[in-house]
Amino acid sequence: MDENLIGYARCSTRGQDLRAQRTALRKLGVDTGNIYTDRGYTGRNRERPGLSEALAAVGEGDTLVVTKLDRLGRSVTDLHAIVAELDAKGARLVYGGSVYNPGDPAGKMFFSILAAMAEFEADLTRARTREGVAIAKEQGRMTGRKPKLTALQHERLLEDYEAGKYGASKLMELYGLSRSAMYAALVRARQQRDITIDARSRTGR
């Protein structure tokens, strides 16, 4: 039975280019028609259409080829599950030119180390992202979505609505709001008015 090489390439964002991985896979002997890809999927996401297609294409005696192990996945559990699936099919994995042999203790240990490093790098990136968001919020650079209307515009919208000066369609046009946004703004305006009235009654003003 002739060996069939199945290539797989992945990038985390849709803006990234897969040409370098495709070129590397072709240099490793994979035909262009046998290369499956996922664009915009993280390595922590096991449910990837390109990966599913690549694994489905692999049969007995075939080889799944990736340029780097972290392109295949960034989860120790997922990576071990993938090689177990390949082994059950009688197939093998090649990553970056290295052949994974589950029967070789040294090779198995090296694979586990690389898998752990891939997961660690993913966790580190996520932690740094969360830290950056937290710092930005503290410094006021991320204050959430700004309200479409100012407090004064909310007040005037409520006045115009309750006075019957304009219908709903006209108010939507005047304030640049969708119907749902307009009614949400009216709710906020009433809430703010009630709070103001309650505050004034407490202070006797």
Given 136, 162, 191, which residue is the final one in a domain?
136
139-176 pLDDT per residue, tens: 655 555 555 788 888 888 888 887 777 778 888 888 88
Phi, psi at 92, each rounded to 5°? -135, 170
Determine the pLDDT at residue 38: 93
- Range of weakest confidence among 40-49, 89-98, 138-147: 138-147
Whether 145 is in a domain gets the answer: no
**Cβ-proximal residues to 39 (8 Å cutoff; 6+ apart), any chain:** 10, 11, 13, 14, 16, 18
Same domain, 132 and 166: no
CB 28 within 8 A of CB 56: no
Q: Of 12, 75, 98, 169, which is the active-site residue?
A: 12
Determine the pLDDT at residue 138: 65
Give residue 108's domain range: 5-136
Given 83, 101, 136, which residue is the final one in a domain?
136
Share of the chain above pLDDT 70, in %: 82
Whether 74 is in a domain gets the answer: yes
CB 94 within 8 A of CB 66: yes
**Minimal CA–CA distance to 86: which of 114, 66, 110, 109?**
66
**Cβ-proximal residues to 64 (8 Å cutoff; 6+ apart), any chain:** 6, 7, 8, 54, 55, 58, 72, 86, 91, 92, 93, 94
Residue 98 annotated as catalytic: no
SS3 of residue 104 by DSSP: coil
Whether 142 is in a domain gets the answer: no
Same domain, 163 and 75: no
Same domain, 119 and 164: no
105-131 pLDDT per residue, tens: 887 887 888 888 888 787 777 676 666
What dihedral angle (degrees, nearest 10) is formed by the CA atoms of 75, 111, 96, 94? -100
The answer to whether residue 26 scores a pLDDT higher than 90 is: yes
171-202 pLDDT per residue, tens: 888 888 888 888 888 888 888 877 776 666 66
d(CA 143, CA 43): 30
The answer to whether residue 63 scores a pLDDT higher than 90 is: yes
The answer to whether residue 57 scores a pLDDT higher than 90 is: yes
Whether 143 is in a domain gets the answer: no
Determine the pLDDT at residue 8: 96
The answer to whether residue 1 scores a pLDDT higher than 50 is: no
CB 42 within 8 A of CB 12: yes
Same domain, 88 and 184: no
Average pLDDT over residues 21-38: 94
Higher pLDDT, 197 or 96: 96
Strands 35-39 and 98-100 turn out to be unpaired
Across 13-27, 50-64, 167-181, which has the greatest mean pLDDT? 50-64
19 CB burial (10 A radius; 0-12, 13-18, 19+): exposed
* pTM of the entire predicted model: 0.59
CA atoms within a 13 Å half-sphere pointing along the CA-CB vector of 51: 24
Beta bridge partner(s), residue 35: 7
